[in-house]
Amino acid sequence: MLFRLVPAPEIIYSAPMKSWFLYILECADGTLYTGITVDPERRLAEHNNGTGAKYTRARLPVAMVYCTPVSDRSEASRLEYRIKKLSRTAKLALINAAP
């Protein structure tokens, strides 16, 4: 007897696509932190409550200085990686060029 390993078509669920965002925070010590999220306001609150990234916990408070929507998580991760490689000067230019 063979068993069917995939669910029947009538019970397959497709979740709606989430919007992803890439953001840059300015920490109290002037350093910049880059991250990705599906909810920028919630993530900023988490950072400021000390439940965000370890890096920002010792540099509170933080302010969101840049936030842009990205098509999906994969693209957000790739963009985050590229921005983290930029110099501080290049990151500031990106922030200042934003509308």
User: Is the model's pTM score more than 0.85?
Assistant: no
Let me know how long the chain is.
Answer: 99
Q: Which fold has domain 19-97?
A: GIY-YIG endonuclease (3.40.1440)
What does the longest C-alpha to C-alpha distance in the chain come to?
66
For the cut 70, the answer to whether the pLDDT of residue 3 exceeds it is no
pLDDT of residue 72: 94
- Element (DSSP H or E) covering residue 40: helix 40-48
Q: Scanning the structure block, which residue is given the tokens 């919007």?
A: 19
Q: What is the pLDDT of residue 88?
A: 97
pLDDT band at 79 (very low <50, low <70, confident <90, very high): very high
Percentage, residues of the chain above pLDDT 70: 83
pLDDT, mean of residues 68-82:
95
pLDDT, averaged across the chain: 89
| Residue whose structure tokens are 């007897």 | 1
Residue 49 predicted with pLDDT over 80: yes
